[in-house]
Amino acid sequence: MKQNTLRKLISLGMIAVLAIFFTLKSPYFLTASNLSAIVRDSAVAGIAGIGLTYVILTAGIDLSTGSVMALAGMVMANIYTYTLIPIPVMILAGLAVGLVCGAINGFVVTKLKLPEFIATLATMGIYRSLTYVIAVRDSAGSIQSVQMRASSFTVLGSGVGGLYWVVLALVGQFLLKKTRFGTNLYAVGSNFKAAQLSGINDTAVTILAYVLSGLTTAMGGIVLASMTQQCMASTGSGYENYVIMSAVIGGVSLLGGVGTVPGCVFGAILIGLLNNGLNLMSVPSTEHDLVKGIVIIAAVAFDALQHQDKARSWLRQFRFLQKKEVT
């Protein structure tokens, strides 16, 4: 069975088991309103995870997603507070921030040749610092939480947000499976040297992956601000963990070359289901990360095991070919 298919089945199985467990523990879990809330609350990490899936497929990583959400949100908050610019234009400005941040990440990784972890760890701090620099302040200079309650904006945080996520996931999977860009992503992540020898422009592929990651991250930040109806300088803190967890749990290999957008969607729903169920069971929030940490360790361990099995298979084939040549 292909690794992708197996990981999807495992994710679906975990969702089913958790759903049964939480249903037995709480009568409020299996209700239409609660299930809708799970999908809605999973949308932020799920939307951001679409672009991050592209980055991880190249064997890269992006730690700046939470900070990009905050910076895009704060740019919109400034526009909302100090101008009469229409809401759609304000949203476009937030998306532009995501594109620029993604392009910077891609440039630092490909042109300055910094390791992805170090590069995006640095930009994570830079983007968060810029968010505080441009934060909306009162007359005394204190940073304010900006209330953004225009109906044309808050609608994105309602059921529309869930529909928005579904459409983006379909488009994202189409790009991954039906375009040359998607094929090149798998090629670069699976075998970097072979991709170069095949004539693939690995630099362009990697930069575009980071640009799309920045764009979908900004989209996730917009949905988050719409759901909470506010923007703060601390918005998105810790979301990089949720986004990475969603991708990894959904079968996107940190070693590159393996993964799909639907897998990331399943992973995001699984994380949202865990959060929701633990809250219904009145489990302290301080213990949530304990449970999610165990889940991600299991997912990464499974991924490592699969790659070991694949390496052993390649080794057996290589030895068989050697014997065949000798005979």
Q: How confident is the model at residue 308 (pLDDT cuts 50, 70, 90)?
A: low
Greater confidence (321 vs 66) lies with: 66
Structure confidence at residue 146 (pLDDT): 92
Structure confidence at residue 153 (pLDDT): 92
pLDDT tens, residue by residue, 236-268: 888 898 899 889 888 888 888 888 998 898 889
Structure confidence at residue 318 (pLDDT): 41
Q: How far apart are CA 96 and CA 72, in angstroms?
A: 8
Amino acid (1-letter code) at residue 273: L
C-alpha separations of 91 from 13, 77, 94, 298 in Å: 37, 10, 5, 38
Cβ-Cβ contacts under 8 Å for 262 (sequence gap 6 or more):
8, 169, 173, 250
DSSP 145: P
Mean pLDDT, to the nearest integer, of 201-217? 96
List the domains of the chain with CATH numbers: 3-322 (1.10.3470)
For 225, other C-beta atoms within 10 Å of its C-beta total 31
Residue 280 main-chain phi, psi, to 5 deg: -65, -30
Q: How far apart are CA 28 and CA 30, in angstroms?
A: 6
pLDDT tens, residue by residue, 11-70: 677 788 888 888 888 888 888 888 888 888 888 999 999 999 999 999 999 999 999 999
For 229, other C-beta atoms within 10 Å of its C-beta total 14
> Which spans in 253-287 are helix H?
261-280
Residue with tokens 């290999």, as numbered in its chain: 253
Amino acid (1-letter code) at residue 5: T
Cβ atoms of 257 and 200 closer than 8 Å:
no
Comparing CA positions, the residue from 1, 13, 2, 7 lying closest to residue 253 is 7
Structure confidence at residue 7 (pLDDT): 66
Cβ-Cβ contacts under 8 Å for 316 (sequence gap 6 or more):
none
Q: How confident is the model at residue 307 (pLDDT cuts 50, 70, 90)?
A: low
Structure confidence at residue 291 (pLDDT): 78
Helix or strand or coil: residue 327? coil
Mean pLDDT, rounded, of the chain: 86
Structure confidence at residue 3 (pLDDT): 60
| DSSP collapsed to 3 states, 10-78 | HHHHHHHHHHHHHHHHCCCCCCHHHHHHHHHHHHHHHHHHHHHHHHHHCCCCCCCHHHHHHHHHHHHHH
Structure confidence at residue 47 (pLDDT): 94
Structure confidence at residue 323 (pLDDT): 54
Amino acid (1-letter code) at residue 4: N
Q: How confident is the model at residue 205 (pLDDT cuts 50, 70, 90)?
A: very high
Q: How far is CA 42 from the centre of its chain?
A: 11
**Percent with pLDDT over 70 in the chain:** 87
Structure confidence at residue 71 (pLDDT): 97
Helix or strand or coil: residue 135? coil
pLDDT tens, residue by residue, 212-234: 999 999 999 999 999 999 999 99
Cβ atoms of 257 and 57 closer than 8 Å:
yes
Q: Taking each helix axis from N to C terminus, what angle separates 239-249 and 65-82, rounded to the nearest 10 degrees?
A: 130
pLDDT tens, residue by residue, 286-304: 787 787 778 777 766 766 6
Query: CB-based burial of residue 270 (10 Å sphere; 0-12 exposed, 13-18 middle, 19+ buried)?
Result: buried
